[in-house]
Chains A and B, each alone.
Chain A
Amino acid sequence: MQSTTSSLDTQCRSDFPVLERRVRDDKALVYLDNAATTQKPIQVIDAITDYYKNHNSNIHRAVHALAEESTEAFEATRDKVTKFLNVTNSKEIIFVKGTTEAINLVAYAWGRDNVQKGDIVVTTEYEHHSNIVPWQILTQETGAELKYIDIDENGELMLEQLDEHLATGKVKLVAVSHVSNVLGTITDVKEVITKCKNAGAKILIDGAQAVPHMKVDISDLDCDFYAFSAHKMLGPTGVGVLWARKELLEKMRPFQGGGDMIREVHKFETTYNDLPYKFEAGTPNVADVICFSAAIDYLTKIGMNNVRNHEIELTEYALEKMSKVKGLVIYGPKDTEKQGGVISFNFKDVHPHDVATIVDKNGVAIRSGHHCAQVLMEKLEVAATNRASFYIYTTKQEIDALINSLEEVAKVFKL
């Protein structure tokens, strides 16, 4: 198959040592599970080694040289994230473990004081479990109601349902993902945010699949809470970010109590530290936060518009080729204007695990399962789907390898 390679993948591929791996009887690894987690460039891997070799120390407390260096590097990442997202105040950047923890923080520390019996929390059918279960727990505990925005046959949100929910005047929070991790659908977040503001509801955006793949400008969005994970954008596992408006964070009670989040502790009362530390109890993931800096540098150098354009090109290419594979059903918008670099699909009558096994034999790593989105699986009336997801280093040749394997599936199962 002749296909041209776009410049971005050739430019960066050699920075990713793992992409040279051979798997399953010496087949070249074709890594198409980037929505789960991305691979790491050598710059990030080196940063973590450098940190442990040369600087390792706890932060914010001691005055010795290593502690100062570590503290400075830790806070430098915060500044970098601030710039990367076009946030105005770095105190609004809270480091957490990941998107999941960020959302749970909001559900706990904001939700418990602001959501009461009779109130409504709105989420959507295409959320990851991490943007459903915390709201189930909160609404069950408080006696509030959980409502959904359904998806249409193109895998897009039926926003008129949001209008209906908001019209009740009872909605306290709308929690929606910026990009669906299964269908790739890009939510019209500006529209959602405007609607919520007009109705006086707070809006949380799960950006786990957006920040890694497109330019996200928080000042421009003007939402209330925004969450994402470092490991899906070239960074290490165990680091995530919650951005929230200062006015909200200041009023919120802490999430966890412990070291670093306090100003003064007495036997029976404590005054809390300033933002952002009030929400960063205990020794944070110092090393990984610091090496997350290298990932942001890497993406900044490429430019997020180039990342998005590369994925559009790949997704268009893949959609076109996949549509010709016999028996294959694609879910979601199938329109790169409205879709990130994620394609979910099934073969009629072939279990996704059989597909993944055949594809894996050829060294192609895709994901099969419910993708932590069982509510969406129910909606699609399937137990599971296969999912291919792309990133900056993905090549058209790799998509060709996927297509060849999918054709093999069709042949083996005589479709």
Chain B
Amino acid sequence: MSGDPIYTEMIIEYSRNPSNFGKIEDPQIHRHDSNPLCGDSIDLYVNTDGTKITEVKFDGKGCAICMACTSVLTEMIQNKNLDEVKNFQKDELLAELGLEHLIKTSPVRIKCALLSLKALKYGIYSYFVEKMNDTEAAGNLKEEAASLY
């Protein structure tokens, strides 16, 4: 199935001009994560008013897949309710970029695609547990993040 396109116009464009690229000073949620094998390394910054995501940014370095997926993720969760974001599934993100096939075809590159979602899930988990003292609301986000890829 290696005929499935990876480097579509959309991915190249996003990798060149990532959306929401930058840093938020003192964000409510900050999570750094990296893929040691390929060297993708990002920082995700999120602000929330307790129910909704109010602001998202990211910075770092990575391959085109990582940059594009992180860009799209930040666009998709902007202004979303935290509950929705908690339930956000990897398929939704991959489908947005036409990368569903990576799950089957490239166990290596899927890590690039899902790094930001992993960072987001961990970040929200820490927010609920550490900032809100609400382990119930955190649910199984941590396990989910750990088993994304």
Q: Determine whether the beta carbon of A353 is less than 8 Å from that of B2.
A: no
Q: Which of A66-74, A151-159, A281-289, A354-362 binds B?
A: A354-362
Q: Bound complex: CA of A354 vs CA of B62, how far in Å?
A: 10
Q: Determine whether the beta carbon of A361 is less than 8 Å from that of B12.
A: no
Contact partners of A25 in chain B: CB under 8 A: 2-3
Let me know if A351 is at the binding interface, CB within 8 A: yes
Let me know if A413 is at the binding interface, CB within 8 A: yes
Q: Determine whether the beta carbon of B7 is less than 8 Å from that of A412.
A: yes
The B-contacting residues of A in range 338-387, CB under 8 angstroms, are 349-351, 353-354, 357-358, 361, 368-370, 383-384
8 Å CB contact of B62 from A349, A351, A369, A412: A351
The size of the chain A interface, using a CB distance under 8 A, is: 18
Q: Determine whether the beta carbon of B39 is less than 8 Å from that of A357.
A: no
Q: A383-B39, A413-B12 are in contact. Are A354 and B64 (CB under 8 A)?
A: yes
Contact partners of A21 in chain B: CB under 8 A: none
Contact partners of A357 in chain B: CB under 8 A: 6, 106, 109
Which residue of B has the minimal Cβ distance to A414?
Answer: B12
Q: A353-B112, A354-B65, A358-B7 are in contact. Are A24 and B38 (CB under 8 A)?
A: no
Q: A383-B39, A384-B39 are in contact. Are A354 and B63 (CB under 8 A)?
A: yes
Q: Bound complex: CA of A384 vs CA of B66, how far in Å?
A: 16
Q: Mark A22-65, 1 if CB is under 8 A from B, else 0.
A: 00110000000000000000000000000000000000000000
Let me know if B95 is at the binding interface, CB within 8 A: no
Which residue of A has the minimal Cβ distance to B109?
Answer: A357
Q: Determine whether the beta carbon of B37 is less than 8 Å from that of A383.
A: no
Q: Bound complex: CA of A208 vs CA of B63, how far in Å?
A: 31
Let me know if B90 is at the binding interface, CB within 8 A: no
Which residue of B has the minimal Cβ distance to A360?
Answer: B2
The A-contacting residues of B in range 107-123, CB under 8 angstroms, are 109, 112
Which residue of A has the minimal Cβ distance to B63?
Answer: A351
Let me know if B80 is at the binding interface, CB within 8 A: no
- Give min CB distance, A117 to chain B, whole Å: 34
Let me know if B131 is at the binding interface, CB within 8 A: no
Contact partners of A354 in chain B: CB under 8 A: 7, 63-65
- Give min CB distance, A364 to chain B, whole Å: 12
Q: A358-B7, A412-B12 are in contact. Are A383 and B2 (CB under 8 A)?
A: no
Which residue of A has the minimal Cβ distance to B4?
Answer: A361
Which residue of B has the minimal Cβ distance to A358?
Answer: B7
Contact partners of A384 in chain B: CB under 8 A: 38-39
Add 5 more A-B contacts to A353-B63, A413-B7 (CB < 8 A).
A351-B38, A351-B64, A383-B39, A384-B38, A414-B12
Spell out B's residues near A (CB within 8 Å): 2-3, 6-7, 12, 16, 37-39, 61-66, 106, 109, 112
List 10 A-B pairs, minimum CB-CB distance, nearest first: A351-B63, A383-B39, A353-B38, A24-B2, A353-B63, A412-B7, A354-B64, A354-B63, A25-B2, A361-B2
